[in-house]
């Protein structure tokens, strides 16, 4: 079969995703943009994921399965990237869904705008209902700022990227949480990268407690610190010291509120900017200051109250 459109590579890292994998792969197979290759990286799954992946490969020659020992999602993404043949590349998580016209919309945005990266809207799905997330048109540096502050999701699943931008960079195989944010930052730092944004829905992002991204472990906390440090180093020549300190202080708050770790030795250089940072809430400033003063009770109280409030049904 021949196509008059460029080949698009879709990388799917898989780990114990049997509950969602068939539906995920069906959503990819149903793309209106048909000139795709789908690289399935089975990261040492112990459930039926490999069997499910093998079945679709038998039915659809555009799908290809590669098995590896359980090295983590970053290694899986890197192996997928190494095996891509497409002019463009995008990632899809194995517990999510691609909208039927996702690649069509994203590719059209690139051709219409002469861009290198097309970013699409997506639907976040959780037990409380769906939320449609859009992006505002902005220049590259505003886009990066929104990624760094968390206003925009740093995932790779709603971003179609020219593969040539990815060839000389790689995923850090030791980082399996926020690995996509670090990789995307490396891509965005390149000179001359043009971004286009569309507000058509391209993806359904499921908030699944057992997924890679929602498993907040001690290793994940450590990865978040490492990624924040590396990302801030990447962009320190672009943004002000105050802004970089803000990103680091946000990470300090996350570490305190989501683990038993102290933040006293994490980015100590950013603490001097804390009180003047208008974008860090007062309650979070107090949490950081309490930890700096070795006052554990206010932190425990805040966590307890925050947990109690989140459990209330309104």
Residue for token pair 């990268």 = 193
What's the rounded Cα separation, in Å, for the pair 255 and 103? Answer: 36
Residue 309: the pLDDT is 56
| 211: DSSP letter | S
Q: What domain range includes position 164? A: 8-206
Residue 214: the pLDDT is 41
What's the rounded Cα separation, in Å, for the pair 248 and 232? Answer: 8
Tell whether 124 and 254 lie within a shared domain. Answer: no
Exposure of 254 in the CB half-sphere (CA atoms within 13 A): 19
Tell whether 120 and 246 lie within a shared domain. Answer: no
What's the rounded Cα separation, in Å, for the pair 29 and 92? Answer: 12
Tell whether 200 and 274 lie within a shared domain. Answer: no
Max CA pair span of the chain: 67
Residue 212: the pLDDT is 42
What's the rounded Cα separation, in Å, for the pair 310 and 314? Answer: 10
List pLDDT tens digits, range 92-148.
999 999 999 999 999 999 999 999 999 999 999 987 889 999 999 778 999 999 999
Residue 265 pLDDT greater than 60, yes or no: yes
Q: What is the CATH number of the domain that holds 44?
A: 3.90.550.10
Residue 314: the pLDDT is 34
Of 154, 165, 118, the C-alpha closest to 231 is 154
Helix, strand or coil, per DSSP, at residue 121: strand
Give the pLDDT band of residue 3 (cuts 50, 70, 90).
confident
Strands 97-98 and 195-206: antiparallel
Question: Which of 162, 183, 206 marks a domain boundary?
Answer: 206
Residue 61 near residue 34 (C-beta atoms within 8 A): no
Count of domains for the chain: 2
């Amino acid at each position: 079969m021949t196509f008059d459109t460029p080949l698009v590579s879709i990388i799917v890292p898989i780990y114990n995703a049997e509950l969602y994998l068939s539906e995920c792969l069906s959503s990819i197979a149903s793309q209106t943009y048909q000139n795709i290759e789908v690289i399935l990286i089975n990261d040492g799954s112990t459930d039926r994921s490999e069997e499910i992946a093998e079945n679709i490969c038998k039915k659809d020659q555009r799908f290809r399965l590669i098995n590896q020992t359980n090295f983590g999602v970053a290694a899986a993404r890197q192996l997928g990237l190494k095996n891509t043949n497409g002019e463009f590349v995008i990632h899809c998580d194995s517990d999510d869904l691609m909208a039927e016209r996702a690649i069509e919309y994203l590719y059209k945005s690139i051709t219409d705008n002469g861009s290198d990266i097309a970013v699409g809207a997506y639907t976040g799905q959780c037990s409380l209902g769906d939320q449609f997330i859009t992006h505002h048109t902005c220049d590259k540096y505003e886009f990066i700022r929104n990624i760094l502050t968390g206003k925009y999701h740093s995932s790779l699943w709603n971003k179609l990227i020219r593969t040539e931008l990815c060839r000389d960079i790689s995923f850090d195989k030791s980082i399996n949480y926020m690995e996509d944010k670090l990789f995307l930052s490396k891509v965005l730092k390149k000179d001359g990268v043009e971004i286009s944004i569309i507000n058509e829905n391209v993806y359904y992002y499921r908030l699944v407690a057992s997924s890679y991204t929602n498993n907040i472990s001690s290793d994940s906390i450590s990865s978040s610190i490492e990624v924040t440090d590396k990302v801030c180093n990447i962009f320190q020549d672009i943004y002000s010291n105050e802004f970089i300190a803000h990103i680091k202080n946000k990470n300090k708050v996350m570490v305190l509120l989501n683990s038993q770790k102290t933040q006293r030795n994490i980015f100590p250089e950013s603490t001097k900017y804390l009180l003047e940072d208008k974008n860090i809430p007062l309650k979070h400033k107090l949490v950081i200051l309490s930890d700096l003063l070795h006052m554990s009770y206010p932190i425990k109280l805040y966590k307890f109250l925050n947990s109690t409030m989140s459990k209330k049904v309104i």
